Amino acid sequence: MRLPHAYAEKGMLPKRSLEGIHPKYQVSVASAVLFTAITLVWLLIHYLTQKFGIMGKGDVSKYHCLQLHLLYHPLSSRHQTQSRGLG
């Protein structure tokens, strides 16, 4: 839940929307909402693939690692480029 906020602090995601920390909950509300939305979309995809047998005997959970790499590597390379002053 805190990962989008941590990425925003490092400049890997837009800071403006994810930077405010709620004083009571000690977490960025926008970060929590983003995390929840991503989780709900993933659960919906998982449900639909299981309900309609799209993946055959397998399930979509094995592609979670691929999803993380597809989302993380562009962020990581962008951050490294900015850190080196190239971007």
Per-run averaged pLDDT (10 residues), the chain, 87 residues: 72 72 81 86 86 78 72 66 60
Nearest C-alpha neighbor of 1 from the set 26, 31, 45: 31
How much is the pLDDT for 80? 61
- Number of CB atoms found within 10 A of residue 23's CB: 6
Q: For residues 67 and 70, what is the distance between their CA atoms, to the nearest angstrom? A: 5
How much is the pLDDT for 40? 93
How much is the pLDDT for 22? 79
How much is the pLDDT for 68? 72
Q: How far apart are the first and last CA of the chain?
A: 28
How much is the pLDDT for 2? 67
